[in-house]
Structure 1
Amino acid sequence: MPNSAPPPSSGLRRRDGLLRAALLLGTAGTGAAWAAEAPVAVAVVYPDIGEPFRSVFSKIVEGIDERLAVRSDKLLVPVQSDANAQTGLTAELQRRRPRVVVALGRAGLRVALALEAGVEIVGGGIISPAEGDQRATSLHSLTPDPQLLLQRLRALLPGVRRVTVVYSGRHSGWLMRPAQDAARALGLELRALEVDDLKQALRAYQDFFAQAGAQDALWLPQDPATVDEATVLPLVLQECWDRNVALFSSNLAHVRRGALFSLFPNNLELGRSLGQTATALLARSASAPRGLRALREVQAALNTRTASHLGLDLNPQLQRGFDLLLPER
């Protein structure tokens, strides 16, 4: 690779096949050509993926750029790239010498986490942490903050006193302490039942329904070890409907199937939060958020059919509190 920057008209044509297909490096918002000599303050790494996810990541990146006070380079990562391609992309990113990398999705995180030590990494666009993610300085999950979920439940159904969640330690254990704290603050009892797999989860759900009453609610986390679309979801939807038990979820798709409500990402606001974190890390601010955080940049969805079944008054004020009403008419 040459040490000086090629002319804008020929820069990308001189890259090899891998980089022509996978790499988009430039100054955010200007379309300027890659200047190979000058290091950048921030690089944004995100998946090169088809719709509808392409629009999601584009909106997050838009929010990141809104909050950054400096220029940023963009690196698109093919989601199906092999180990050699990822190594090449990491090396290319390393040559840019960014001080902070904002990495989105598993594909973006894999590339960023392979960088040499000394680079601050802000991760986003993932549901739960994986082994090795602790290398990231700050990790923004797509899992809604339990406090926001429980506050929404309390406002909708003040008669509920006990919430049960079936979870696995691997995927959702990190959420349980803040969930317990939030429940206590709201005057709720949280029964967090840890299991290892779907077989144990089914037994836990069956035990729950054997004693569930009007003061109970069931929370479905984004946890593949305790919730699946083929077995668990149909069971809990039917049982909750038959017993008039409130079912809420961390997964928007479950509201389309009949769960009462869910919270889902506000992608632009999430991007702004990621950009703000990157800016704080650049400034070496003590207030820069570190570690793993649940999603607080949310929108809310309500299933109006389920709400009516549970006796909720679907007045205009209640409906205005939700960004999405389902089923859509």
Structure 2
Amino acid sequence: MSLILLTPIPTAVAFQTGKTAVAIIYPDIAEPYRTVFEQIISGIDSTTQTVKYAVAPDVNINDLKNGLRQQNIKVVIALGRQGMGIAASLDRDIGVVMGGVITAPDNGIRDLPLHSLSPDPALLFELLKKLLPATRRVFAVYNPKQNAWLIRQAKMSARSLGLELVTYEAQDLHSAVQGYQDFFNNADSRQDALWLLQDSTTVEESSALPLVLQESWNRNLAVFSSNFGHVRRGVLFSLYPDNGKMGGHLADMALRFLASGDYGEHGVILLREVLTAINLRTAKHLDINTSRQQDFDVAFPDE
């Protein structure tokens, strides 16, 4: 069957005693993403009882709906793009909390809460100011189709921290590279920094990222990223999800809906349950004091 139901013993007991549990719908997917979802689920399970549906791409939606009705499910936590797609087709009387994705399309989520994997820009900017207090301007190259929503939020966050966020729109790789070149040609290393978003157009891994890393190193310019993998390659720092704590937040919203009919939060919720990663070689190159390495969860190079 394409529908896999995993029912922990505590959940089975809860149904026998008439209590309502939370269901988790998540993709039956290979590593490395499987571990990410398992960590999120572990965080959910630390807060509330659940039943779990690991679904294949060809899942029978009607079978899934019947299973939810039979279990008397009142709220679903939907993880990943596949979970989000399934959530849009569920009965309207079932509450839905979504997570495990970067963002969502403008329509189809019924003003439901979606916990993004994208770090809150305010947290990124706060760490930047801590490491480089003289920073005054942050530059970002972005595709508005992917990240216009995030840039709107980021500009408000930057303003509240005394920063100016300067943005370049790029619809393709060519215009993205032009944006980076303009930045490097005009940047002031004493007060400017570059932010790399989770953007498949403008932060292309095989050409745009190497250009950014080389030019920033040559010009002593700070680059930070919303992508953990970039730190290993030479970006100064990144914030990345604490999957267990994020799962706990998803569970809290689901339980609040069960108790009151309201989630407490709606729309895209930026990630604040974060861990920190820093590149010590890059920090040294920029004359940043990183003697308190315990302030970071991961440090590269990991000698």
- In structure 1, the partner of 2:183 is 208
For structure 1, the 5+ residue unaligned runs are 1-17
**In 1, distance between residues paired with 2:219 and 2:201?**
25
Q: Secondary structure at the match of 1:153?
A: helix
Give the ranges of 4+ consecutive aligned residues of structure 1 lying more than 6 Å apart after TM superposition: 33-36
- In structure 2, the partner of 1:55 is 35
TM-score (norm 1): 0.85
Count of equivalent residues: 302
Deviations 1:212-238 (A, max 9, x none): 111110000001121110111011011
Give yes or no for contact 1:124–1:141 (8 Å, CA) kept in 2: yes
Q: Determine if the alignment matches structure 1 residue 281 to structure 2 residue 263.
A: no
Give yes or no for contact 2:254–2:263 (8 Å, CA) kept in 1: no
- In structure 2, the partner of 1:46 is 26
- In structure 1, the partner of 2:203 is 227
Structure 1 or 2, whichever has the larger Rg, is 1
Give yes or no for contact 2:15–2:21 (8 Å, CA) kept in 1: no
**In 2, distance between residues paired with 1:46 and 1:94?**
18
Give yes or no for contact 1:305–1:327 (8 Å, CA) kept in 2: yes
The one-letter code matched in structure 1 to 2:277 is: A
Give yes or no for contact 1:60–1:270 (8 Å, CA) kept in 2: yes
- In structure 2, the partner of 1:23 is 4
**In 2, distance between residues paired with 1:139 and 1:74?**
19
- In structure 1, the partner of 2:215 is 239
TM-score (norm 2): 0.92
Aligned-residue RMSD, C-alpha: 2.3
The one-letter code matched in structure 1 to 2:54 is: L
**In 2, distance between residues paired with 1:190 and 1:159?**
15
The one-letter code matched in structure 1 to 2:28 is: D
- In structure 1, the partner of 2:155 is 180
Deviation at 1:283, TM superposition (A): 1.2
Deviation at 1:39, TM superposition (A): 8.6
Give yes or no for contact 2:14–2:20 (8 Å, CA) kept in 1: no
Q: How does 1:76-155 map to 2 (within 5 A)?
A: 76-78=54-56, 81-82=57-58, 85-130=60-105, 132-135=107-110, 137-155=112-130
Give % identity.
45
- In structure 2, the partner of 1:189 is 164
Question: Of the candidates 238, 243, 246, which is equivalent to residue 267 of structure 1?
Answer: 243
For structure 2, the 5+ residue unaligned runs are none
The one-letter code matched in structure 2 to 1:52 is: P
Q: Secondary structure at the match of 1:154?
A: helix
Q: Determine if the alignment matches structure 1 residue 74 to structure 2 residue 55.
A: no
Deviation at 1:132, TM superposition (A): 4.0
Q: Secondary structure at the match of 2:200?
A: coil
The one-letter code matched in structure 2 to 1:62 is: S
